[in-house]
Amino acid sequence: MRKLSITVFIFIAIISVTFIMTYSSADTGSTSYAEDRALIEDLQARYMFALDFGDLDTYVKTFTEDGILDIIGFKWQGRENIKRELGAMSANMAKEKPATGDEKKLYPSTGRHNITNIVIKINGNKAVGRAYWFHMGNDNPERKATLDSYGYYEDDMEKVNGEWLFSKRIIYNEQMAEWIGSKKNPSW
């Protein structure tokens, strides 16, 4: 009887430990605000690298398959559409601005988008975000670092197969009268 009891004790203890370990891990990994926010911050940063370094394949993978990119003046849905239209727009912008004689001597200019003030609200596998962005570049004869524009994002995000992605990103740009966004606080 006593031997049996101890066997049963140990059995129940092992079951309990296994169950609780599984439960604890799942809780830590998927339901905490910190965990979701950390993954979304990483997404927001990878988006910027892909955009600024012209890596359109990586860029569109930060969106869901049918995600929407809305830059007010233009609105595209779906990874394929975003890639095609953004690619065409970039090519046009490059054509319209041929390098001057002076600039030809220099290394190519770069442009860099930065994100700050990231506000994120999470509800299960959905999230909404607000954040500021600003852009700096050196597309001038001296390759001098220059701030040139800023605005803010309104984001909808979804967790798809454990990966956070943009289902919709709206980009307000305060250097263009038509794209300047809300006068009221878009955050909460």
Residues 150-169 that bind a second copy (CB under 8 A): 150
Q: What pairs with residue 166 in β-bridges?
A: 63, 157
Instruction: Report the nearest approach of a second copy to the CB of residue 128 (Å).
Output: 12
64 lies in the binding site for a second copy (CB under 8 A): no
Which C-beta is closer to a second copy: that of 33 or that of 74? 33
Cite the DSSP H helix spans in the chain.
2-30, 33-52, 56-60, 79-96, 101-104
Task: Give the DSSP per-residue string, 61-85.
Answer: TTEEEEEEEE-SS-EEESHHHHHHH
For residues 16 and 19, give the distance between their C-alpha atoms in angstroms, rounded to a whole number: 5
Determine the interface stretch with a second copy among 25-33, 62-70, 74-82, 153-161 (rule: CB under 8 A): 25-33
46 lies in the binding site for a second copy (CB under 8 A): yes
Instruction: Report the nearest approach of a second copy to the CB of residue 13 (Å).
Output: 5
Of the candidates 54, 49, 134, the residue with the CA atom closest to the CA atom of residue 86: 54
39 lies in the binding site for a second copy (CB under 8 A): yes
**Of 72, 134, 139, 156, the one binding a second copy by CB under 8 A:** 134
Instruction: Report the nearest approach of a second copy to the CB of residue 167 (Å).
Output: 20
Distances (CA, A) of 72 to 4, 78, 139, 154: 72, 16, 25, 12
Instruction: Report the nearest approach of a second copy to the CB of residue 22 (Å).
Output: 11
**Of 3, 101, 162, 185, the one binding a second copy by CB under 8 A:** 185
CB 16 within 8 A of CB 8: no
Burial of residue 108 (CB within 10 Å: 0-12, 13-18, 19+) is exposed
90 lies in the binding site for a second copy (CB under 8 A): no
182 lies in the binding site for a second copy (CB under 8 A): yes
Instruction: Report the nearest approach of a second copy to the CB of residue 67 (Å).
Output: 19
Contact map string, positions 94 to 133, toward a second copy, x by CB under 8 A:
------------xxx-x-xxxxxxxxx---------xxx-
